[in-house]
Structure 1
Amino acid sequence: MKPEATPLVGVNDTACLNPANDATIGLIRVPEGLRLRDLSAVSMDLEWKPASAAARSAIDWFYLHLGGQSIAGRAAKLKDAIGAVLNDLLNAAENTPFRPCFRSMRAKDFTGGPVGYRSAKAVIDLFEVKGLVHLAGGNFNREGRVSCGTTTRIWPTTALLDHLAEFGIAPSNRREHFIKGEGSEAASRPILLSTSSAWRGRRRVEGKPLPVDATDPTVIKYAAQVDRLNAFIAKQAIEGAGEVVFFRKFNCGDQAGHAYRKGGRLWVVGGGYQMMPKRWKPSHPEGTKLRSSILINGEPTTEIDIGSSHLTIFQAKLGLPFDPQADLYDIPGIEREVVKAYINLTLSKPRLPKQWPADMRSDFLDRYGCEIDRDHSIYFVREACLERHPILCQRKSIQLDWSDLQFIESQAILRAMDSLNQDSGIACLPIHDSLIVPLSHKDKAIEVLKESFKYHVGVMPRVN
């Protein structure tokens, strides 16, 4: 099979208004009159690994096809990079209309990531040489000015998708063949631990896996709780959520005295329903599964969540007077989601943030169709948030960060799940600060979640 290799021209000049006027790129043509920069893109995070024999076979084939065997001593790293790149290209290819991947190709932006710079660049360059992907560089001419720093756009050719189809792999069944980094280990281990995450410029780099002390009494207790939740959910009829197997991931294991009290959120192996969108939007491909379509024991479900969870915990643990029943993200003149994004960003960093992170910019473009750094000045948002919640001005001196807040929140969620499962026989599915529950048990679940939150935090929260 001869792959298509239509060149991409004009990426650095005004011709990039439509960089592929005469060629089908990936799945469909770039809409006439749009710059590639204007297309909503999907982040190439390089965090997924093969989960099926078909995916491993495909990776082996691409490794040979790319000539990877001629690069001495790098087989394992190259194969990891091939698998991660293939997954992210498939993830972007799921979308309608067409969306490319975006990825900063600066070496420093790979520091601490699951795939190293050398391996990722080698694979992406070889994919381009073989006509399997198209690349658009990072600098674009905008209204006569060169705008530097735009991340590289990457998208698959039909040749790449055809090769994957020969192994039974397509964008629509990607999750059957790939699993997020810790997923394969989590499938057999209820408790995972990682080092601290870190900020590299505008990008947050996830921590690396650490060994878990299976003899630690705290680990034994937490593992027993996760096993109990897994045993209960395995007996329920869950439709539309995929396979449900929980594990609990703790963070900051490289910090002295972490004592498994940092992070601790409950995750689903492979992402599962937690990665499904809550609501449908026009950019979703036909047949996209939504969380609202999940059935538990044949019943429709609803999602209940703790309002302003982290900010409520933050203020309550500092002993501040405030109304926990109020919407703490309600600031006149600023969209609620923007306020929420800034406050959660502030609580995740040791200092007040001065710019929107790259992943947050991408997320807002994806979810809401707006460029947050252009439409919402972070300086204006910051001043409004500090006026409403002046305690944030002291963020640097307060030793209570995102990992502490996540742990407290996770304890409240797990206590509520245990109570609903063991005391009331009610099945539920967690999504960090919320629970999916059968519609007929909504009131009971709200009552239990409120009481559990009060037990761990000391205040009765607002539950939506």
Structure 2
Amino acid sequence: MLLQNANDLLFGKSTAFHLWSFLSGQSLFQTGLILWGNVISYQLTDVLRRLVSLDLVDQVKGFYNRSGATQSSGRVSRIWPARHLASEFERLSSFSPVVIRDKRTELVILRDENGKPVEYEDTDDTIAMRDVLRDYNQLLAQTFIDIPELDEGLIPLGGGQNLVIERHVHNHGVHRVFNRSDWKKGGRFYGGWWQSCPKAWRKRVFMDDLPTIEDDFSGLHIVMLYGWEGIDYWDAAEPSEDPYRIPVPSFLQSADQCRKYAKQLLLMAVNAETEKDAFAAFRKKRADEGDETGKRLKDVQLKVLLDALKAKHEPIAKYLGAGAGIDLMNQDSRITEDIIKHFIEAGRPILGIHDSYIVSLGDDQRLRAVVQEAFESVTGIHHIKLKREGIGYQEIMDTLKEDETEGQAKLSEAMHQASIHRTPGYQRRREDFYSYNPF
């Protein structure tokens, strides 16, 4: 298997390994070394020793000193490429092969209460989940997923950070993670670079050189919680009902600001174990987004917002600040699995971002139908609301029938998007992909 930009992964600079792992051959499962979300076993240490013996890799051995019952010191082992190996990787730096995930890589991960991976015995369910993930990763591997406007394959994230969208094992394949040693906790799909992609850039994603659309659930977890109480939220609510609109308190400046804060706080409260945890998470999020007002809100002020939300959503108030999020994630992961299985069978690519899905513009009608079916099958709830980013083919056709002028405008916008300028870097990545793709 060829590792694209392998010099960045292991050889570009000195790479630190968990204490003892490289030198002693101790089980890397025990030491906790995890790469690409997967536990690495003895085979890696054998490879590294062989590379050292061939003078392809240089090393500085680590050590561990236990000087007392409570004090210890040490240094991790470090490796880096020998000069001639580094020059070979440099020579191959412009080569962009397709990366295929090794079938032996674990795709279904179970973690304990501390977030550490644990061993488990396979069941029919885990085998079935793994089979779906392997088929899905193969579908992703044979799909060119990129952004035409990016020349270097880097999305700026701010603060000098970039999101790499070049094809790697660790950013193009997908795995599932379950939590608290319980197959009913968590289970979401992780791994694709598109999950970390800012929304402003996601709408520019192309698949197989075609524009995409994204459908996003409106109030997904709120609707699910109502479902737990036997209520179909969008059926029971007024047609114009906004789940996040509450009276504006005196310490906020506008209805829009209040709605924004209420929405974020409600989602935090759904996932938090306690109200205080929700308040802390809210402030951190506002600080991360550079919001001076939001990050300075005190618990007593956020409590006013949360109490207003509880009053508005009285049937589900007991779930707020009670750690329901991990169970909701399990439920939405099953919805995503059903949707992905349909697209695998159809041989059509799809990207999941937990509560939204990206498909090529020609698959917009298929996506709406499959999302509806999967949501109803898992939750028992019929009514859903989806928000769309982009313009799909069926949407254009339906609009043309109802209003030709508006339909032509949508068609023109879609054609403009399809003909957007492809940077030289994008064209190179596209040519490399289709040249080296083995599927």
Give the match for residue 324 of structure 2.
401
2:348 matches 1:431? no
1:368 deviates by 5.7
CA 247–397 in structure 1, closer or farther in 2 if over 3 Å, else same? closer
Could you tell me which amino acid in structure 2 is paired with residue 330 of structure 1?
R
Map 1:40-439 → 2, pairs under 5 A = 52-54=6-8, 56-57=10-11, 60=14, 188-196=105-113, 207-213=115-121, 215-240=122-147, 241-243=165-167, 244-253=172-181, 258=182, 260-268=183-191, 271-279=192-200, 290-320=201-231, 322-323=233-234, 326-332=241-247, 333=255, 335-353=258-276, 356-357=279-280, 360-367=282-289, 369-375=291-297, 377-395=301-319, 401-423=324-346, 425-439=347-361
Q: Give the 3-state SS of the residue equivalent to 1:261 in structure 2.
A: strand
Distance 1:442 1:361 in 2: 37
1:328 deviates by 2.3
Distance 1:461 1:190 in 2: 30
Could you tell me which amino acid in structure 2 is paired with residue 212 of structure 1?
Y
- Structure in which a larger fraction of residues adopt helix: 2
1:189 deviates by 1.4
1:458 pairs, out of 372, 380, 403, with 380
Distance 1:226 1:315 in 2: 30
2:212–2:358 Cα contact (<8 Å) kept: yes
Q: Give the 3-state SS of the residue equivalent to 1:236 in structure 2.
A: coil
2:195–2:353 Cα contact (<8 Å) kept: yes
Q: Give the 3-state SS of the residue equivalent to 2:377 in structure 1.
A: helix
Q: Give the 3-state SS of the residue equivalent to 2:233 in structure 1.
A: coil
Q: Give the 3-state SS of the residue equivalent to 1:209 in structure 2.
A: coil
Could you tell me which amino acid in structure 2 is paired with residue 192 of structure 1?
I
2:283–2:296 Cα contact (<8 Å) kept: no
1:448 deviates by 1.5
Which structure 1 residue ranges, 4+ long, deviate > 6 Å from structure 2? 76-81, 184-187
2:271–2:321 Cα contact (<8 Å) kept: no
1:238–1:295 Cα contact (<8 Å) kept: yes
Could you tell me which amino acid in structure 2 is paired with residue 297 of structure 1?
D
1:223 deviates by 0.7
1:457 deviates by 0.8
Could you tell me which amino acid in structure 2 is paired with residue 252 of structure 1?
R
CA 330–297 in structure 1, closer or farther in 2 if over 3 Å, else same? farther
Q: Which has the higher contact order (CA 8 A, sep 6+)?
A: 2
1:224 deviates by 1.1
Distance 1:221 1:54 in 2: 34
1:78 deviates by 12
1:196 deviates by 2.8
CA 219–79 in structure 1, closer or farther in 2 if over 3 Å, else same? closer
TM-score after normalising by structure 2: 0.55
Give the match for residue 43 of structure 1.
none
Could you tell me which amino acid in structure 2 is paired with residue 245 of structure 1?
G
1:234 deviates by 2.3
Alignment root-mean-square deviation, CA: 4.2
Could you tell me which amino acid in structure 2 is paired with residue 195 of structure 1?
D
Q: Give the 3-state SS of the residue equivalent to 1:192 in structure 2.
A: strand
| Number of corresponding residues | 287
Q: Bigger shift: 221-230 or 371-380? A: 371-380
Max Rg structure: 2
